[in-house]
Structure 1
Amino acid sequence: MTFENQFLLPNGVDIAALPKISLHDHLDGALRPQTILELADAVGVEVPETDADRLGQWFLTQCDAGNLVDYLKTFDLTTAVMQTEEGLTRVAREFVQDLAADGVLYGEVRWAPEQHLARGLTLDQTVEAVQVGIEQGIDDAERAGRSIQIGQLVTAMRHADRALEIAELAVRHLGNGVVGFDIAGAEAGFPASRHRVAFDFLAQEHVPVTVHAGEADGLDSIKSALFDGRALRLGHGVRIAEDITVERSDDQGTYVSLGPTAQWVKDREIALELSPSSNLQTGAIAAWGTDLADHPFDLLYQLGFKTTVNVDNRTMSGTSLTRELSLLSDAFAYDLDDLEVFQQNAASAAFLPLEDREELAEAISAGFEDAERYRA
Structure 2
Amino acid sequence: MTLTPQEIRALPKVVLHDHLDGGLRPETLIELAGEIGYELPYADPDMLAKHFVANANSGSLVKYLEAFTHTMAVMQTAENLTRIAREAVLDHARDGVVYVELRYAPEQHCEQGLIMQQVVDAVQAGLEEGVSDALEEGYTIRAAALLCAMRQADRSLEVAELALANWGTGCVGFDIAGPELGFPPAKHAPAFSLLRDELFPVTIHAGEADGLGSMSQALGMGAARRIGHGARITEDITDFGTELPVLGHIAQYVLDQQIVLEMCPTSNVHTGTAPSIAEHPIHELRDLGFAVTVNTDDKLMSGVDMVSEFQELVDVGWSRTDLFEVTLAAAWGAFLPYDERADLADLIVEGYGLDE
Distance 2:149 2:194 in 1: 14
- Kindly provide the amino acid, as one letter, of the partner of residue 279 in structure 1: N
Distance 2:336 2:128 in 1: 18
**Aligned 1:170-319 pairs, distance under 5 A:** 170-246=163-239, 249=242, 254-285=243-274, 290-319=275-304
Partner of 1:365: 349
Partner of 1:5: none
Name the CA shift for 1:85/1:259 in 2 (closer, same or farther; >3 Å).
same
1:48 aligns to 2:36 (yes or no): no
Structure 1 residues 135-187: Cα deviation after superposition (integer angstroms, max 9, x where no partner): 11110011111111111000000010000000011111111110110100000
- Flag as ranges the 4+ runs of structure 1 deviating above 3 A: none
- Report the CA distance between 1:46 and its aligned residue: 1.2
Indicate conservation of the 8 Å contact 1:65/1:282, yes or no. Answer: yes
Distance 2:339 2:315 in 1: 34
Indicate conservation of the 8 Å contact 1:83/1:119, yes or no. Answer: yes
**In angstroms, what is the RMSD of aligned CA positions?**
1.5
| Greater shift in the superposed pair: 19-28 or 363-372 | 363-372
Partner of 2:141: 148
Distance 1:109 1:80 in 2: 19
Distance 1:338 1:221 in 2: 29
Distance 1:101 1:276 in 2: 21
Distance 1:143 1:321 in 2: 21
Given candidates 339, 343, 346, the residue that maps to 2:327 is 343
Structure 1 residues 303-362: Cα deviation after superposition (integer angstroms, max 9, x where no partner): 00000000100001110111111111211x111111100110000100000000000000
Aligned length: 355
SS in 2 for 1:134: helix
Partner of 1:3: none
- Report the CA distance between 1:11 and its aligned residue: 5.3
Indicate conservation of the 8 Å contact 1:18/1:371, yes or no. Answer: no
1:125 aligns to 2:118 (yes or no): yes
Distance 1:306 1:337 in 2: 15
SS in 1 for 2:146: strand
Indicate conservation of the 8 Å contact 2:231/2:281, yes or no. Answer: yes
| Greater shift in the superposed pair: 26-35 or 239-248 | 239-248
Partner of 2:127: 134
5+ long unaligned stretches in structure 2: none
Distance 2:43 2:241 in 1: 53
- Report the CA distance between 1:248 and its aligned residue: 8.7
Structure 1 residues 178-209: Cα deviation after superposition (integer angstroms, max 9, x where no partner): 01101000000111111111011112222100
- Kindly provide the amino acid, as one letter, of the partner of residue 345 in structure 1: A
Partner of 1:37: 30
- Report the CA distance between 1:42 and its aligned residue: 1.2
Name the CA shift for 1:169/1:327 in 2 (closer, same or farther; >3 Å).
same
- Report the CA distance between 1:291 and its aligned residue: 2.0
Distance 1:189 1:51 in 2: 37
Indicate conservation of the 8 Å contact 2:2/2:314, yes or no. Answer: no
Distance 2:35 2:113 in 1: 16
Partner of 2:15: 22
- Kindly provide the amino acid, as one letter, of the partner of residue 153 in structure 1: L
- Kindly provide the amino acid, as one letter, of the partner of residue 367 in structure 1: G
Distance 1:149 1:345 in 2: 17
Distance 1:46 1:247 in 2: 46
1:10 aligns to 2:2 (yes or no): yes
SS in 1 for 2:278: helix
- Kindly provide the amino acid, as one letter, of the partner of residue 330 in structure 1: D
Given candidates 315, 322, 336, the residue that maps to 1:352 is 336
